[in-house]
Amino acid sequence: MRILGIDPGLRNMGWAVIEVVGQNITQIASGTAHSDSKQALSERLSDLYGQLKSVVEMYRPDEAAVEETFVNSGAASALKLGQARAMALLAPARAGLFVGEYAPNQVKKTVVGAGHADKSQVSYMVKLQIKGASPDTADEADALAIALCHAHLRKSKQMRVA
Protein backbone atom coordinates (compact mmCIF):
# COMPACT_ATOMS: atom_id res chain seq x y z
CA MET A 1 0.00 0.00 0.00
CA ARG A 2 1.41 3.36 -1.04
CA ILE A 3 0.12 6.43 0.75
CA LEU A 4 0.57 10.05 -0.29
CA GLY A 5 0.54 12.50 2.63
CA ILE A 6 -0.02 16.19 1.92
CA ASP A 7 0.54 19.15 4.23
CA PRO A 8 -1.43 21.98 2.55
CA GLY A 9 0.03 25.43 2.13
CA LEU A 10 -0.23 28.17 -0.46
CA ARG A 11 3.48 29.02 -0.56
CA ASN A 12 4.92 25.61 0.43
CA MET A 13 2.91 22.39 0.25
CA GLY A 14 4.72 19.40 1.72
CA TRP A 15 4.15 15.96 0.25
CA ALA A 16 5.46 12.49 1.05
CA VAL A 17 4.91 8.99 -0.26
CA ILE A 18 5.31 6.01 2.05
CA GLU A 19 4.90 2.31 1.44
CA VAL A 20 3.29 0.03 3.99
CA VAL A 21 3.99 -3.71 3.86
CA GLY A 22 2.65 -5.45 6.93
CA GLN A 23 4.17 -3.63 9.90
CA ASN A 24 7.03 -2.16 7.83
CA ILE A 25 6.72 1.45 6.70
CA THR A 26 9.25 2.92 4.27
CA GLN A 27 9.67 6.39 2.81
CA ILE A 28 9.55 6.33 -0.99
CA ALA A 29 9.91 10.06 -1.66
CA SER A 30 9.10 13.48 -0.26
CA GLY A 31 9.31 17.08 -1.32
CA THR A 32 7.68 20.46 -1.31
CA ALA A 33 5.46 21.96 -3.99
CA HIS A 34 6.06 25.71 -4.24
CA SER A 35 4.11 28.63 -5.65
CA ASP A 36 5.37 32.11 -6.45
CA SER A 37 3.77 34.78 -4.25
CA LYS A 38 4.25 37.31 -7.06
CA GLN A 39 1.80 35.41 -9.29
CA ALA A 40 -1.98 35.74 -9.32
CA LEU A 41 -3.78 33.38 -6.96
CA SER A 42 -5.23 31.37 -9.86
CA GLU A 43 -1.72 30.77 -11.26
CA ARG A 44 -0.40 29.76 -7.84
CA LEU A 45 -3.21 27.26 -7.35
CA SER A 46 -2.70 25.90 -10.85
CA ASP A 47 1.03 25.46 -10.17
CA LEU A 48 0.36 23.58 -6.92
CA TYR A 49 -2.21 21.35 -8.59
CA GLY A 50 0.18 20.57 -11.46
CA GLN A 51 3.02 19.69 -9.10
CA LEU A 52 0.83 17.40 -6.99
CA LYS A 53 -0.63 15.79 -10.11
CA SER A 54 2.93 15.00 -11.23
CA VAL A 55 3.70 13.43 -7.83
CA VAL A 56 0.60 11.24 -8.11
CA GLU A 57 1.53 10.19 -11.65
CA MET A 58 5.16 9.48 -10.76
CA TYR A 59 4.71 7.56 -7.50
CA ARG A 60 1.26 6.03 -8.09
CA PRO A 61 -0.05 5.98 -4.51
CA ASP A 62 -3.04 3.82 -3.63
CA GLU A 63 -4.54 6.32 -1.18
CA ALA A 64 -3.89 9.84 0.05
CA ALA A 65 -4.20 11.81 3.27
CA VAL A 66 -4.52 15.57 3.69
CA GLU A 67 -4.30 17.58 6.88
CA GLU A 68 -7.29 19.70 7.77
CA THR A 69 -6.47 23.36 8.13
CA PHE A 70 -5.88 25.05 11.43
CA VAL A 71 -6.08 28.78 11.00
CA ASN A 72 -5.13 31.27 13.65
CA SER A 73 -5.07 34.31 11.41
CA GLY A 74 -7.47 36.51 9.48
CA ALA A 75 -10.30 35.52 7.18
CA ALA A 76 -8.42 36.37 3.97
CA SER A 77 -5.51 34.09 4.95
CA ALA A 78 -7.91 31.32 5.91
CA LEU A 79 -9.68 31.54 2.57
CA LYS A 80 -6.42 31.38 0.60
CA LEU A 81 -5.21 28.42 2.65
CA GLY A 82 -8.56 26.73 2.09
CA GLN A 83 -8.15 27.17 -1.65
CA ALA A 84 -4.66 25.61 -1.50
CA ARG A 85 -6.12 22.76 0.55
CA ALA A 86 -8.69 22.26 -2.23
CA MET A 87 -5.80 21.63 -4.65
CA ALA A 88 -4.34 19.14 -2.16
CA LEU A 89 -7.66 17.27 -2.15
CA LEU A 90 -8.34 17.62 -5.87
CA ALA A 91 -5.09 16.19 -7.27
CA PRO A 92 -5.42 12.73 -5.66
CA ALA A 93 -9.22 12.68 -5.96
CA ARG A 94 -9.01 13.30 -9.73
CA ALA A 95 -6.71 10.27 -9.91
CA GLY A 96 -9.43 8.17 -8.28
CA LEU A 97 -7.73 7.85 -4.89
CA PHE A 98 -9.49 7.63 -1.55
CA VAL A 99 -8.46 10.73 0.43
CA GLY A 100 -8.48 10.68 4.24
CA GLU A 101 -8.60 13.96 6.13
CA TYR A 102 -7.07 14.45 9.56
CA ALA A 103 -7.04 17.28 12.08
CA PRO A 104 -3.55 18.46 13.10
CA ASN A 105 -4.06 17.30 16.69
CA GLN A 106 -5.15 13.85 15.48
CA VAL A 107 -1.97 13.53 13.37
CA LYS A 108 0.21 14.53 16.33
CA LYS A 109 -1.61 12.23 18.75
CA THR A 110 -1.32 9.28 16.36
CA VAL A 111 2.36 9.83 15.53
CA VAL A 112 3.74 11.25 18.78
CA GLY A 113 1.14 10.24 21.36
CA ALA A 114 0.32 13.84 22.30
CA GLY A 115 -2.06 16.11 20.41
CA HIS A 116 -0.06 19.24 21.16
CA ALA A 117 3.41 17.98 20.21
CA ASP A 118 5.78 20.47 18.61
CA LYS A 119 7.34 20.15 15.16
CA SER A 120 10.64 18.75 16.47
CA GLN A 121 8.81 15.95 18.29
CA VAL A 122 6.81 15.11 15.16
CA SER A 123 9.97 15.01 13.02
CA TYR A 124 11.77 12.83 15.58
CA MET A 125 8.92 10.29 15.78
CA VAL A 126 8.53 10.20 11.99
CA LYS A 127 12.22 9.25 11.67
CA LEU A 128 11.77 6.52 14.29
CA GLN A 129 8.69 4.99 12.70
CA ILE A 130 9.43 5.23 8.96
CA LYS A 131 12.43 3.44 7.48
CA GLY A 132 14.57 5.80 5.45
CA ALA A 133 12.69 8.90 6.57
CA SER A 134 14.86 11.95 6.08
CA PRO A 135 12.68 15.02 5.69
CA ASP A 136 14.58 18.13 4.58
CA THR A 137 11.92 20.57 5.77
CA ALA A 138 9.16 20.84 8.36
CA ASP A 139 6.63 20.67 5.50
CA GLU A 140 8.02 17.28 4.42
CA ALA A 141 8.10 16.00 8.01
CA ASP A 142 4.47 17.03 8.43
CA ALA A 143 3.52 15.30 5.17
CA LEU A 144 5.26 12.12 6.36
CA ALA A 145 3.38 12.38 9.68
CA ILE A 146 0.06 12.77 7.82
CA ALA A 147 0.80 9.71 5.68
CA LEU A 148 1.83 7.76 8.79
CA CYS A 149 -1.35 8.79 10.59
CA HIS A 150 -3.38 7.54 7.62
CA ALA A 151 -1.48 4.26 7.61
CA HIS A 152 -2.46 3.71 11.25
CA LEU A 153 -6.08 4.93 10.97
CA ARG A 154 -7.10 4.14 7.38
CA LYS A 155 -9.30 1.13 8.12
CA SER A 156 -11.52 2.99 10.56
CA LYS A 157 -11.53 6.04 8.24
CA GLN A 158 -12.68 3.96 5.25
CA MET A 159 -15.36 2.20 7.28
CA ARG A 160 -16.87 5.59 8.16
CA VAL A 161 -16.82 6.70 4.52
CA ALA A 162 -18.24 3.48 3.05
Q: What pLDDT was estimated at residue 116?
A: 85
Active site residues: 7, 67, 139
Helix ranges, the chain (H):
41-59, 75-94, 104-111, 119-129, 138-161
Average pLDDT over residues 52-60: 98
Residue 7 above 90 pLDDT? yes
Average pLDDT over residues 117-122: 88
Decide: helix, strand or coil at residue 66: strand
Average pLDDT over residues 75-95: 91
CA-closest candidate to residue 4, choices 34, 23, 28, 24: 28
Average pLDDT over residues 128-143: 93
Distance CA 8, CA 11 (A): 9
Average pLDDT over residues 91-110: 95
At 71, the pLDDT band (50, 70, 90 cuts) reads low
At 162, the pLDDT band (50, 70, 90 cuts) reads very low
Residue 136 above 60 pLDDT? yes
